[in-house]
Amino acid sequence: MHRALPAISIVTLIILCLFAMVLGWIKYFDYRQKEDKIASFPEYYRGLARGCYERESVNCCLWSVSNMQSENALLIGQDGCPEWTRQEMLKCLGSYTWCTTKSSN
């Protein structure tokens, strides 16, 4: 004959299940928030923002894309920035590096 689980074990399992569900919802809403942000970018910046999932920090990367868009800047090229521009990036892991006009900021 099988013994039933003690009440404390059942309560513990329920609490763990609820915790896992809450954690899943938090992750889902964080993901949806990022996807909504990415969808709001124009096409060029949207492509860069999609690449943020592969970088060290998705949030830092998305902030760098936002800054690039606000400056109407382009990702730094293989040869660096043209002489009439300067290199910019955020001081966090995952930031893109871009070229902006020297008169900006």
Residue ranges of the domains in the chain?
7-101
**What is the predicted pLDDT for the residue at 2?**
64
pLDDT, one tens digit per residue, over 33-67 is 889 999 999 999 999 999 999 998 999 999 999 99
Write down the mean pLDDT value for the chain. Answer: 89
Query: Are β-strands 85-89 and 97-101 bridged in parallel, bridged antiparallel, or unpaired?
Result: antiparallel
Residue 97 bridge partners (DSSP)? 89
Instruction: Note whether 60 and 90 are within 8 A (CB).
Output: yes
Residue 75 bridge partners (DSSP)? 98
Instruction: Note whether 68 and 74 are within 8 A (CB).
Output: yes
**What is the predicted pLDDT for the residue at 1?**
54
